[in-house]
Structure 1
Amino acid sequence: MKLTFLGTGTGIPQARAQSGLIMEAEANGRKKPLLFDCGCGVLQRIYESGYDHRNIDTIFLTHLHLDHVSDVLGLIKANWLVGLAQAHIYGPAGTVEWFNKLMTLYPYLKDKLQVQITELTGGTVLSVADCTISTAHGCHSVTTIGYKVERAGRVAVYTGDTEPCDSLTELAQGAHVLVYECSFPLGYEVDNHTTPDMLAAHISQHSLHVDRLYLTHLYPHMRGHEQESIDHIRTVFPGEVHIAEDLMQVDV
């Protein structure tokens, strides 16, 4: 598997696009990009990454905040404009209601799209594109789920927005790559999100066995604090720690 970070930022404008990444799987001998979250700017990043939007018809949403879903309809419409009407969205409870309400604003699209939606809960296991995908609930201001993707013995996990929590730590155990939100720098007082000291404190109590950790969902507040964030987490985490960047690609 290959992972491409499309957007590593948040709802505040900066050089980073909002949340989104691709995990490249393989189905029937062909590469298949699975899109996880699709915030504002991600559609443009798909183009810049070299992926063809026409090949992206499977979207996994961690939760329904704008910085994770703003470009979903833009992507689906872009495909419709070139004659591709089908898409499958996986997401938390409420995804069907969210999409149906969105369609009421665009009645000219409503009967032209063939969008299947599957709502997931924590503990779901499904097979998509020759991958086994497992879920766990995170801890955020709205219902949110993290995803574990396994294929050919390789494992990647994406948390979405969350405070450190046992359910996602358990989901991530043994992963080769873990993509974890780290919104704010050391000492920042926040809930529903993660800071380096919050994550380090959690890891010190719950050992995390992961090869490589990539920090994403970075607010502008994190600018200039990247290395101290890495260094702090390394005091309790023996694996590699990296700051994710838009258009960064890593092998899983």
Structure 2
Amino acid sequence: MEITFLGTGVAIPQKGRVQSGILVRLEEKPLLIDCGSGVLNKFPETDISHTEVDTVLLSHLHLDHVADLLPLLKANWLCGKTNMRIYGPEGTEEWLSKVLGAYEYIMEEVDVDVIEIFPGKDFTPEGFDCEIRCTAAIHSVPTLAYRVTAEDGEFVYSGDTEPSRDIMDLAAEADLLIHECSFPPGTNVTNHTTPTTLADMLEEYNKEIGSICLTHFYPDMRGHEREAVYRLKGYFEGEVILAEDLMKLEL
């Protein structure tokens, strides 16, 4: 299993980071998780074409996680690929219907299947040899964290969230936890995570998770990366990784 971080940033532009998106290669078949602005233009810098993507997993419907979904559908259509399967939280079908409805010339040409997923659901995307389990995250809109289990590894993607016991339980015994870390230590914030709030919860899960990769960085985090790692290493024995755009991890 190969994980490529297409985008590790947020809605505020910053050098070197586009919005959220992760590309997972599962036995040569790509699964795209989230598709924020800038993600589509990262594909030429990978060894996977955007036309190979026929399955997208959405954590939630905030723009920095979905803004490039319609451009992806159009780019694929222009290249002769019209089918797409989209898994997402409650509201995904209504949202996509409204977005596509504004562009009838695209809506008439593509075949999109939307499957809404609810916390606690286990499912296997069509065409994949893996199992995906989800739980609710703590965010301002319905948001799902996902655990992807395949023959060669298991990882959890938190989506946008405050630290959550449900997500930590989901990550137990996983090789990798990809967790948002939006703001520097000591920042008082809701709906998102800081190294301080993550460390407070991480200690009791210390030996249950293989490695942690931090992502979804606001510009405020610039210059605080080492501090974030240091703070977490005080509570966690595994490797703490800072995600960068186009970084790859192998499981």
Same topology, TM > 0.5: yes
Counterpart position of 2:114: 117
Counterpart position of 2:78: 81
Q: In 1, are the aligned partners of 2:184 and 2:228 still within 8 Å (CA)? A: yes
Structure 1 position 66 matched with structure 2 position 67: no
TM-score (norm 1): 0.96
Q: C-alpha separation between the residues in 2 aligned to 1:56 and 1:208? A: 35
Structure 1 position 56 matched with structure 2 position 57: no
Counterpart position of 2:12: 12
Q: In 2, are the aligned partners of 1:169 and 1:208 still within 8 Å (CA)? A: no
Superposed displacement of residue 68, structure 1: 0.1
Other structure's SS at 2:190 match: coil
What amino acid is aligned across from residue 165 of structure 2 in structure 1? D
What stretches of structure 1 of length at least 5 have no aligned partner? none
Q: In 2, are the aligned partners of 1:179 and 1:216 still within 8 Å (CA)? A: yes
Q: C-alpha separation between the residues in 2 aligned to 1:146 and 1:137? A: 6
Structure 1 position 189 matched with structure 2 position 188: yes
Q: C-alpha separation between the residues in 1 aligned to 2:166 and 2:206? A: 13
What amino acid is aligned across from residue 186 of structure 2 in structure 1? G
Superposed CA RMSD: 1.0
Superposed displacement of residue 207, structure 1: 4.5
CA-to-partner distance for each residue in 1:63-104, whole Å, 9 max, x for gaps? Answer: 000000000011111000011110000000000000000012
Match of 2:33 among 24, 29, 36: 36
What amino acid is aligned across from residue 174 of structure 1 in structure 2? E
Superposed displacement of residue 107, structure 1: 1.0
Superposed displacement of residue 50, structure 1: 2.6
Q: C-alpha separation between the residues in 2 aligned to 1:51 and 1:130? A: 19
Q: In 2, are the aligned partners of 1:148 and 1:156 still within 8 Å (CA)? A: yes
Q: C-alpha separation between the residues in 2 aligned to 1:153 and 1:246? A: 23
Counterpart position of 2:131: 132
Q: In 2, are the aligned partners of 1:131 and 1:150 still within 8 Å (CA)? A: yes
Counterpart position of 2:22: 21
Q: C-alpha separation between the residues in 1 aligned to 2:54 and 2:48? A: 12
Q: C-alpha separation between the residues in 1 aligned to 2:208 and 2:245? A: 26
Q: C-alpha separation between the residues in 2 aligned to 1:88 and 1:166? A: 30
What amino acid is aligned across from residue 93 of structure 2 in structure 1? V
Superposed displacement of residue 153, structure 1: 4.6
Other structure's SS at 2:244 match: coil
Q: In 1, are the aligned partners of 2:70 and 2:100 still within 8 Å (CA)? A: no
CA-to-partner distance for each residue in 1:176-211, whole Å, 9 max, x for gaps? Answer: 111000000011110000000000011135546111
Other structure's SS at 1:183 match: coil
Q: C-alpha separation between the residues in 2 aligned to 1:151 and 1:167? A: 21
Aligned length: 248
Counterpart position of 2:176: 177
Q: C-alpha separation between the residues in 2 aligned to 1:233 and 1:208? A: 13
CA-to-partner distance for each residue in 1:124-169, whole Å, 9 max, x for gaps? Answer: 1111310111111100000000111111151011111000011111
